[in-house]
Structure 1
């Protein structure tokens, strides 16, 4: 009898324990409070949960290792990504040049004042200016430019019911080739290999039916954008959008483009799209999953501690900053902002619907958290 009880206990543990392990792994480990020299962060806790985000700024004479005066890091399974760091205001963050890669990039992610960095262009691009740049007083001297090589080609021609047998690329150099292969129910008509020449692709082949095409399966298939772009299918995944009738409406959003097989949505100002921007008509004459428009702004109005009273409501978008006058004029000053002299005494940054202020009575830290 005891042996039977033990047997059932083992079965229960075997069935429950893997699920608990999976859930524990999906949650991720907590992160300890990070060490940040010459800076401060919020919220300031002893430990943080997996996926928690904290924001940090640096003391006078220092700056975060990111663009702007404010940065954020995320707890990812027990580690901060990226780790918060304050560097000298005359140092430079690793430069980012479109379609270029750094030669021997520094692991720290920043370069000291006076140091240089070299670049090489991605395949299909070439440098038309100096290939290196220098960090001077917190700014990079003229960055190189990578331009598309002459006579190169863009995306290869799309062939219905066919796949391309090479890795997809945005740019193909002249004389590059791609090979097509048809689906099981189709046969190739024309040359299977197509070449890029004089900035144009040669005539692409066709895939024609071998015989009668069977009815498509009733189960819907989902493919990603990359797969849909490079892989053909032996049956249509979607119907034309007109088959589903008028496009559905979404709150704070509207359609921006209607094509044969898709409708594209975008949100009104101060809202951001959550979910797929493109909606398709499925074979069951139902729309694919709709996106939603969620708030992406902060609102300020009336009297706010330490600041001059606002005459009207102010809206500004997430992760943007606004400048304000202090109630005590002694803390107001002129500063050079975006190419113009601006009179202000505090900076407010919109973060998750809250506005964090810096300035006026406090040279470091926050004045008030206002929602």
Structure 2
């Protein structure tokens, strides 16, 4: 243990400090600093600009910035070094408008989201339904928003009738059409419905182009297509090469979005900069000029349906129209 001369103190908590001999080396080098200086603060869930010299002079103040999802208790964000002691040390506490982990939704996964414990107000999390499932109104994606400490209602992924899925007992990517559907995966004679008529994709040459769609899986025996954002697929996602050199039926990517442009169509009380795009069947909450108020908008058959500005509680109770 060691102490410091009059007018100075150890560069650690307390007037006495300890160093430990560990495998022939001391744990740290004793340092005595001005007794009116302050050592760095440890602020859970917060940060501040560090001093280049590692210490803070008497009367020096620092501003604490709380991490995302936290806020300063009693709006006190400043700490002051006073005669070697920090006064009014800020506390970063969880914001009442912060949301915890997004809810788990059956047959849906969260996409494009890094793991985090807390989500700040107005954070948005997007879900995508599993293969063979879709949200009410069409499409496979929908999102939820953190409002006043709670998540808005999430999508409901329902069993669909997509080609190439397990629906109707079809094996994914098999190219076999469910009985009774009346569709053939390729054009031409009836004999081309059998698996034996397909061969490797390189036999058909250049990959076919699907406007507003891309190949997301390149397998020696098939190509899997996916439509770009704001477009929905009509037809099979799996395309195969027939032994005679022709491609099976291609998917079509149709427009599936609405545009919200307040410059063209103002909505009373809604706060929005720029243009907001809403995918078909997707529900979004657009902020209003009043705190905790928003308008619920949804794209249905290319038409944007929206409510008046309502409080979050009214949205939850379903009384907002």
Question: Shared fold (TM-score greater than 0.5)?
Answer: no
- Bigger Cα Rg: 2
Which structure is higher in RCO with an 8 Å CA cutoff and minimum separation 6?
A: 2
TM-score by length of 2: 0.38
